Amino acid sequence: MNSFGSALTNFRPTPASIPPSNAHLTLHISSDLPVNFHPLNPLEFLLRAAQIYPDRLALLHPDVQFPVFYTYSVWAQRVQNFAYGLLRAGIQPGDRIAVLAPNSPMIADALQGVIGARAIVTTINTRLTKDEIDYILTHSGARLIFVDHDYKHLVSGATAPIIVSDDTGRPDDPYEGFLTAGRVYSQEKGWAGLEIDSDENKPLSLNYTSGTTGRPKGTYLAAVANAFETQMSKESTYLWWAATLLLDIIIWIVLFHRILPMFHAAGWTFPWSITFSFATQAVSDHLANSRLLFDLEAFLELRSNTLLWSSYSADRNHEPSKRKAAAAPNQDDHCWCCTHRSAPCSAEVQGFQPVHVYGLTETYGPFTRNYPQSSWFGLSPSERAKLSARQGHAFATSAPLRVVRPTTSPGDKLVDVPRDGKTVGEIVARGNIVMQGYFQDPEATARAFEGGYFHSGDLAVWHPDGSVQIQDRSKDIIISGGENASSLAIEQELASHPDVLEVSVVGREHPKWGERPMAFVILHAGSAERWAGNHKGFSSALKAHARKRLPGFATPEWIAIVEELPKTSTGKIMKTVLRKRAAASAKL
Amino acid sequence: MNSFGSALTNFRPTPASIPPSNAHLTLHISSDLPVNFHPLNPLEFLLRAAQIYPDRLALLHPDVQFPVFYTYSVWAQRVQNFAYGLLRAGIQPGDRIAVLAPNSPMIADALQGVIGARAIVTTINTRLTKDEIDYILTHSGARLIFVDHDYKHLVSGATAPIIVSDDTGRPDDPYEGFLTAGRVYSQEKGWAGLEIDSDENKPLSLNYTSGTTGRPKGTYLAAVANAFETQMSKESTYLWWAATLLLDIIIWIVLFHRILPMFHAAGWTFPWSITFSFATQAVSDHLANSRLLFDLEAFLELRSNTLLWSSYSADRNHEPSKRKAAAAPNQDDHCWCCTHRSAPCSAEVQGFQPVHVYGLTETYGPFTRNYPQSSWFGLSPSERAKLSARQGHAFATSAPLRVVRPTTSPGDKLVDVPRDGKTVGEIVARGNIVMQGYFQDPEATARAFEGGYFHSGDLAVWHPDGSVQIQDRSKDIIISGGENASSLAIEQELASHPDVLEVSVVGREHPKWGERPMAFVILHAGSAERWAGNHKGFSSALKAHARKRLPGFATPEWIAIVEELPKTSTGKIMKTVLRKRAAASAKL
């Protein structure tokens, strides 16, 4: 181990981070509860991990000026200090606590520690504008704000008190001051001085990816499912960034996927899957230029057989709607995601096994999974890829899902579409892994829960094997000559053209057909050179390509070559912007 | 594949076992339930498995005249037929259904199908006497009895209707007739015609290992924990017998452990861990002489990377108490158990990894696990073995446990013993993985739940690392000169003498000390020859051995060499018999 290694191994946690030798790692539980009931609460996973594997590496933050690492024993003490820090600040059960930070120890602490104070954690996307963040702070009624030093300017003027982290882990860091004060305030009452919430259905998190509130029970069950489905174990290291990936995987991810940050929908409950599994988590916010890449691999290989990370696809093309999230929840960013399992010892191709999952913030992140079948091994790679792209079946601890005919008015009975792989319907879900509701918006909640199921807003076909495959967002359907054309399906076919690097399709008004598809295309560098000055030629070539693969009503009528596509802070294409452009060009 | 293979592959399930091509694998759910709640119910695991991996081998029964196997798709249909068969017989929610059978498809079906009819499954130990079985049938109020053809004589005269299985899987088998009639009765309404119980806390099973009732929620969470802790996956085959084990492991098991049968406390929820994981289960009741040993290995290797099975130790020395189970529940048989993981590809010694767990029928089987630590690798094998023998910590989805000072009167507050690895207290537990109660015995339930915790009756020390280690059953403590001597600890030390094959220790009255330990010893064959006629010599040698290792009050005062030890039908040493013998010899 060289410079990185020595910077890391020279690190010492603050004195307040060191637990007493006789630490009792059990939350107080109300004696009014029945003997055979304990409220499902995901904070208990951390306490178990600290009890059973106290010296195991829990949290590693290597890629900063002052690298830090914490064992489970030390981390649990810091989380306890965090909870007491909240109590000291007068936080009551149910109060909202905002966190604006990139992947870092503070946000990891908050996702656990806020539960210890029975408050509600709200993690905020650091890529939002100040206006958007102001809205979230006001709408959530945050009582306390934790902010990373790099993002202080985004919370200036906020009315709630602000705790700044310099992300150093050193005693002179104001965030460390907060933790130390919490420890002092605790008077060494330890975990026994903090109570586990008796109600497993109260809100635990508030996520402005959709304005949803999640419950301890749902978080618990979703976290267990994520751990089981990814076969996470104490031999795993979960990466909140992608520094150690092989180059080709990095390219694949940079082009098509984004690594899941911890602030995104509370990290899809992975923060608790990790503690459930006694795994190690490594946090960073520097995807591309981790100067510690090779050292880190050496460091981690000592501890781990398996590297895991989550990423989500940016090709679902939804608008940003942070500000209107709570008001118009179904307008929100949904996600495709893949959890990868890098298993150096396995015989898998390139040593990594993708686990394709699908979900929404309203479902705590993933709630379906694509389950590979042994019969697929006999298929061609492209056939296999098609099957692997399906969103699959409800996953472990989820209730079964359905695909239903889109309802037209409230009170309509939900009717399943046939399982024919053709008829498009809406994915609806119910059960423990459905959010509690939209925060302070009973009407939006009631709308989303119409007919006794949560409406995902995702249009899909239901295959005979019971798996679902998303076709589009309901509003991304293009109604062309009375036919429903899926912009996603069109994009998929256009993207198979060798010159196309990236493509997005929206509807544009048409005098005869009502709407017709318009495609916005980015060309590969070489192709752009070749087609330069010959837009018409490329347009014809692409239309010909499309006609072979799509019905007439779905073939794009117009094609625009562009340098880039308008994207949100989380990398999703802003179709509203494209629709406006399409409308403007219709008027020319 | 030879004769066995062809017998197996020529097997065809009955026509009623074949599901319709459009099978819809979802139970009906009440529309009164909140959108974000679904009752935790372990039957859903089977339906998911049949949906996602319909063609995967679910159930294999090779070791009989007519070997059978069922895929998940077919097995789920048979389970559905079972549920409809119960409805056809007039079974109502909450009715008890008795099953008296060795490991076989019928008992596997019953553990799933009874849930489909919202009834309560009672599996009965086939090794009990007719009197004991009569008692269980009467006490449980069984409305219907399923019996394997080999055990018909044990239920003769029962008042409830009896369904006999000839264990052939062929259409002329009366049990298959029951299933076929169920299918007809369903009128092809399928799973949608069966309702998932809205209450996840109603009884699901009634287990006469302790007279306890388990709930769907507890069964669900215990099954998930067992699956996670054993890393069960769809690459696993779970063995309900041990035919494929290596010879040395067989010997180890035959001497010290028994393979868990499905009727024992509903198989510790493993029947549902298996369906949760999409694993295969192989059932047999012929441990020693499986004529299909080698064929089967070949058969299974095609399908599986990992073999799993559970076994329980017979060295806990408890009396059989089936008849008085419900009345005196704490007198019951508790278990040590090990789940083994045979991983041919791994570098583990002998290719198998024991997972040491501990539990009781009252806790749905296992609820603690010994978690191996990396620091143990540096220790000597004997030191490591000592640490591995601890019962460990509460496992995944369990609530934390405690070790408390034995209480003397009802209403006493529970006080933790110090975590010093020395002070003996009682293991108590609470939470979702504690039984609902003792069937029709609120007084015994209240006693067991005294102070807000379930009292295991197991005496243990609490180590500084939070792990527990059982010392003895409370009634097996020998009070010698006012000191508490653990018969288990004495047995462990005596067993380390090279001449001792097996040993059991009980208290015997002593004029001066109140009690003193008396040991009953079986010698190794060679040692027996050597010490023949020299009982006194051996006795002195063993006492000298003991004195070096035990305090004076724990050194056995009397030693009897015996040919065998009295054991129960489940292989536990009957200490009551030994105590009587000790008392009788005191009078000589």
CB A342 within 8 A of CB A351: yes
Higher pLDDT, A172 or B23: A172
HSE toward the beta carbon, residue B356, CA cutoff 13 A: 16
* Domain termination site, one of B433, B462, B491: B462
Q: Using 50, 70 and 90 to split pLDDT, how confident is the model at B292?
A: very low
Q: Is residue A472 part of a domain?
A: no
DSSP assignment of A14-26: -GGGSPPTT----
One domain, residues B523 and B433: no
The confidence score (pLDDT) of residue B242 equals 52
CB pair distance less than 8 Å for B52 and A454: no
DSSP A323-371: TTTTTSGGGS--EEEEEEEE-TTS-SGGGEEEEEEEEEGGGTEEEEE--
Q: For residues B392 and B490, state if they share a domain.
A: no
Tokens of B569: 């039908």
Q: How far is CA B420 from the centre of its chain?
A: 30
- The answer to whether the Cβ–Cβ distance between A52 and B231 falls below 8 Å is no
Please, which residues have CB within 8 angstroms of residue B123's CB and are 6 or more apart in sequence? B98, B99, B101, B107, B110, B111, B205, B207, B262, B263, B264, B266, B267
A436 shares its domain with A515 = no
User: Between A517 and A285, whose confidence is greater?
Assistant: A517
**Which residue is associated with the tokens 């030890």?**
B565
| A227 chain-B contacts, CB cut-off 8 A | 228
Structural domain contains residue B468: no
Q: Are residues A316 and A414 in the same domain?
A: yes
In whole angstroms, give the CA distance from residue A283 to residue A68: 10
| CA–CA min distance A120, chain B (Å) | 18
Q: How many CB atoms lie within 10 A of CB B584?
A: 10
Q: Which residues of A143-167 are buried (b: 16+ CB within 10 A; e: fewer)?
A: bbbbbbebbeebbeebebebbbbbb
Beta strands B96-100 and B120-124, pairing class: parallel
Q: Which of B432, B462, B492 is the last residue of a domain?
A: B462
Question: What residue in A sits closest to B430 (Cα-Cα)?
Answer: A35
Tell me, yes or no, if A361 comes closer than 8 A to chain B by beta carbon. Answer: no
Pair A388, A510 in one domain: no
First to last CA, chain A: 64
pLDDT at B499: 93
Task: Choose the weakest-confidence range: A43-57, A338-352, B488-502.
Answer: A338-352
Instruction: Find residues 107-166 of chain B whose CB sits inside 8 Å of chain A.
Output: none
For A52, the closest of B52, B393, B432 (CB atoms) is: B393
A475 is a domain residue: no
Total domain count, chain A: 2
Q: Report helix, strand and coil shares of chain A as percent, to nearest 5.
A: 35, 25, 40
pLDDT score, position A213: 84
Q: Interhelix angle for A270-277 vs A105-116, to 10°?
A: 80
For residue B103, is it within any domain?
yes
Within-domain flag for A469: no
CATH code of A552's domain: 3.30.300.30
Residue range(s) defining the domain that contains residue A505: 481-587
Q: Which of B36, B452, B465 sits opposite A35 (nearest CB)?
A: B452
What is chain B's alpha carbon radius of gyration, rounded to the nearest angstrom? 25
Residue A4 φ/ψ, nearest 5 degrees: -60, -50
**Segment holding A205, helix H or strand E:** strand A205-207
Mean pLDDT of A509-513: 86
The answer to whether A198 faces chain B, any CB pair under 8 Å, is no
The rounded distance, in Å, linking the Cα atoms of B10 and B2 is: 12
Instruction: Give this complex's ipTM.
Output: 0.80
Q: Tokens 């082009």 appear where?
A: A255
- The reply to whether B429 and B575 lie within a common domain is no
- The model's pLDDT over B141-179, given as tens digits with 9 standing for 90+, comes to 999 999 999 999 999 999 999 999 999 999 999 999 999
* Sheet-wide strand order for B468-473: B402-404, B424-429, B454-462, B468-473
Q: What is the largest CA-CA distance in chain B?
A: 78
pLDDT tens-place string over residues A59-88? 988 878 888 999 999 999 999 999 999 999
Which among B337, B256, B330, B276 is positioned nearest to B72, based on CA atoms?
Answer: B276
Confidence band for A316, pLDDT divided at 50, 70 and 90: very low
Q: How confident is the model at residue A4 (pLDDT cuts 50, 70, 90)?
A: low
| Nearest beta carbon to residue A276 from set B215, B396, B399 | B396
Closest CA to B295 of B243, B347, B242, B223: B243
Query: By the CB < 8 Å criterion, does B52 face chain A?
Result: yes
The region of weakest confidence among A235-244, A306-315, B330-339 is B330-339
* Region label for A350, one of left (φ > 0), alpha (ψ between -120 and 50) or beta (otherwise): left
- Label residue A482 left, alpha or beta by phi (over 0 means left) and psi (-120 to 50 means alpha): left
Scanning B20-39 for CB atoms below 8 A from A yields 22, 25-26, 29, 31, 35-38
Q: Give the CATH number, domain containing residue A224.
A: 3.40.50.12780
Q: Find the closest chain B residue to A373 by CA distance.
A: B53
Do A400 and B53 make contact, defined as CB atoms within 8 angstroms? no
Nearest to A500 by CA among A539, A472, A464: A539
Two structure tokens written together for A557:
């009528």
B469 domain residue, yes or no: no
* Residue B69 within any structural domain of the chain: yes
Considering the domain architecture, whether residues B451 and B511 belong to the same structural domain is answered as no
Nearest to B313 by CA among B358, B274, B345: B358
Please state, in angstroms and rounded to a whole number, the distance separating the CA atoms of residues A98 and A90: 15
Mutate to test the interface with B, among A21, A22, A27, A36 (most CBs of B within 10 A): A36
A428-468 confidence digits (pLDDT tens): 999 999 999 999 889 989 989 999 999 988 888 999 999 99
Lowest mean per-residue pLDDT among A18-32, A301-315, B192-206: A301-315
Residue B370 is encoded by which pair of tokens?
Answer: 């010994």
How do residues B113-133 score in pLDDT, each as one tens digit? 999 999 999 999 888 889 889
Instruction: Kindly determine whether residue B432 and residue A40, on different chains, have CB atoms separated by under 8 Å.
Output: yes
Nearest by CB: B449 against A22, A35, A431: A35
Q: What is the 3-state secondary structure (H, E, C) of B333-399?
A: CCEEEEEEEECCCCCCHHHEEEEEEEEEHHHCEEEEECCCCHHHHHCCHHHHHHHHCCCEEECCCCC
A434/B36 CB distance under 8 A: yes
pLDDT(A305) > 80: no
Q: Which residues on chain B are in Cβ contact (under 8 Å) with A36? A: 215, 218, 430-432, 434-437, 454
Interface residue of A35, A363, A377, A465 to substitute, partner B, most B CBs within 10 Å: A35
Q: How far apart are CA B394 and CA B162, in angstroms?
A: 40
Find all residues with CB under 8 Å of B286, minimum gap 6, and list them: B63, B241, B243
pLDDT of B587 > 90? The answer is no
Q: Are A109 and A82 spatial neighbours (Cβ–Cβ below 8 Å)?
A: yes
The SS3 call for residue A50 is helix
CB within 8 Å of chain A, chain B residues 258-287 = 276
Q: Which of A93-97, A300-304, B503-507 has the highest mean pLDDT?
A: A93-97
- Residue pair A74/B470 in contact (Cβ under 8 Å)? The answer is no
Residues B161 and B271 in one domain: yes
B chain contacts of residue A464, beta-carbon cutoff 8 Å: 22
Residues 75..114 of A with a Cβ closer than 8 Å to B: which? none
What does the pLDDT read at residue B289? Answer: 46
Mean pLDDT for A330-337 is 38
pLDDT at A63: 76
**Residue A403 shares a structural domain with residue A500:** no
User: A171-185, A456-470, B413-427, B479-493: which has the minimum mean pLDDT?
Assistant: B479-493
CA distances from B565 to A456, B151, B576 (A): 65, 26, 12
Are A275 and A402 within one domain? yes
Question: Considering only alpha carbons, which residue of chain B is nearest residue A303?
Answer: B374
Does residue A249 have a pLDDT over 60?
A: no
Taking contacts as CB-CB distances below 8 angstroms, the residues of chain B near A454 are 35-36
* Shortest Cα–Cα distance, A438 to chain B (Å): 12
Chain A: give the shortest CA distance to residue B433, in Å.
Answer: 7
Grade residue B235 by pLDDT with cuts at 50, 70 and 90.
confident
The answer for B 418-437 residues in CB contact with A (under 8 A) is 419, 430-432, 434-437
Question: Average pLDDT of B19-39?
Answer: 92
Return the higher-pLDDT residue of A240 and A350: A240
pLDDT for residue A260:
81
**Of the partner residues A25, A52, A453, the one whose CB lies closest to the CB of residue B35:** A453
- pLDDT tens-digit map of A354-367: 788 888 889 998 99
Amino acid at A8: L
Amino acid B458: pLDDT: 85
In a domain, A468, yes or no: no
What is the crossing angle of helices B174-186 and B72-88, to 10°?
A: 80
B339: pLDDT strictly greater than 60: no
What DSSP assignment string belongs to A242-288?
-TTS-HHHHHHHHHHEEEPPTTGGGGGGHHHHHHHHT-EEE--S-ST
User: Does residue A440 sit in the same domain as residue A488?
Assistant: no
Q: Between the ranges A225-239, B175-189, B424-438, where is the mean pLDDT highest?
A: B175-189
Q: Look at residues A401, A429, A462 and tell me which one is the last residue of a structural domain.
A: A462
* Residue B72 near chain A (CB below 8 Å): no
Are A162 and A200 contained in the same domain?
yes
8 Å CB contact of B430 and A36: yes
